Copies of this chain bind each other. A is one copy, B any other.
Amino acid sequence: MPRAAVIPKPNSAVEIRQVPEPQLEPDSALFEVELSEVCGTDVYLQQGRLQGVPYPLVPGHVSIGHLSKIRGSIRDVDGRELREGDRVTFLDVHRTCNACWYCLVAKATTRCPHRKVYGITYGLDDGLCGGWAEQIYLKPGTRCILCVSDAETFMAGGCALPTALHAVERGGISIADTVLVLGSGPVGISSIILALMRGALRVFCIGAPDLRLDVASEVGAAGVLNFEKHDERGRLEWLLERTGGRGADVTIEATGAPDAVVQAMRFTRDAGRVVVVGQYTDHGPVSSRAAFNPHLDLNKKQLDVRGCWGSDFSHFYRAVQIVSDPNRSKPWAALQSKLSHYKLAQANEALADVAAGRVLKALIHPR
């Protein structure tokens, strides 16, 4: 019986349980987990801050491993039949229905109401559906991709990479643009790398703590600022000095703080673009201190402000292509030494370290 780390209910510590080995439906598979990750969302899951989440649940939405057992047939997007033993990863989003108004008319598949996410909206009652476990049950229709990448390089991107890729795509960066990234967590770091990959001339980062800003600089940020040491006015002046007084062409907000969304508008030049990708958890409304002024902050500036929710298969697929390429994957490969490693039994410690911002990225090794 495989072991799994389970959040039994909101605000409870993770427990290690042994769960029955899944019975395979036709066209499903067993996936042996090599590595899974701990992301900020997992902290909120443990704190019970996400709505509509079924407890008990096994966290871990992005994982890498291999297929140990296949019943029926599983194919990748190129139509290749996958085999037992294949090294793969899979899109955490499952059951995007291709039958509803959002999928078929709006073509906004990230807003399909039937979407389920492994490790987040699939609970233990749905099967062994999270990565903090020795095995994951891959239900029929799970989108698998063969993955030749080094496991730790892949996990250095983790779930942040496709999310950042979606954000960067939404940002409409042009060659030689100046980009500002707010936030220096995993999504921020991958956004810096990808904005440069997209042709930005310079990428600035405002975040914290210094440990993470050092990483931002290492992956190529042209300048970093610790927001804890400067008030909003100071941050704005810092940025304007570096952008000819205009602000960034594109700002990617990846912070989690509601007020940062308003500041992102102010940091962006007129007729620029702001991508809001950091508001995955409900932290309540913008404060009155933020003083969001639609005339000055939005209308007169002729800004585009673009919400960006999750990612779809195309982002995940492109992320895997990148991270599997010896050259393109280098920035993430260089992050390997910054990763923190935990066994299944250390899941609570991993959560605590991520919650405190003590680590750049925590990985779970279930075996």
Contact = CB atoms under 8 A, between A and B. Distances in A.
Interface of A: 75, 77-79, 96, 98-102, 104-108, 110-111, 141, 143, 165, 168-169, 174-176, 194, 197-199, 201, 244, 246, 249, 258, 261, 269-272, 276-286, 288, 291-296, 298-309, 312-314, 317-319, 321-322, 325, 328
B175 A198 contact: yes
Contact of A175 (B165, B283, B306): B165
A179 to B, nearest CB: 13
Given A99-B75, A309-B300, A295 B322 contact: no
B77 A302 contact: no
Given A104-B143, A143-B104, A314-B104, A294 B300 contact: no
Contacts of A312: 104
A101 B76 CA distance: 9
Contacts of A299: 276-280, 307-309
A65 to B, nearest CB: 21
B175 A105 contact: no
A75 B99 CA distance: 9
Contact of A271 (B102, B246, B325): B102
Nearest to A292: B286
Which of A100, A101, A143, A280 lies at the interface centre, i.e. has the most chain B CB atoms within 10 A of its CB? Answer: A101
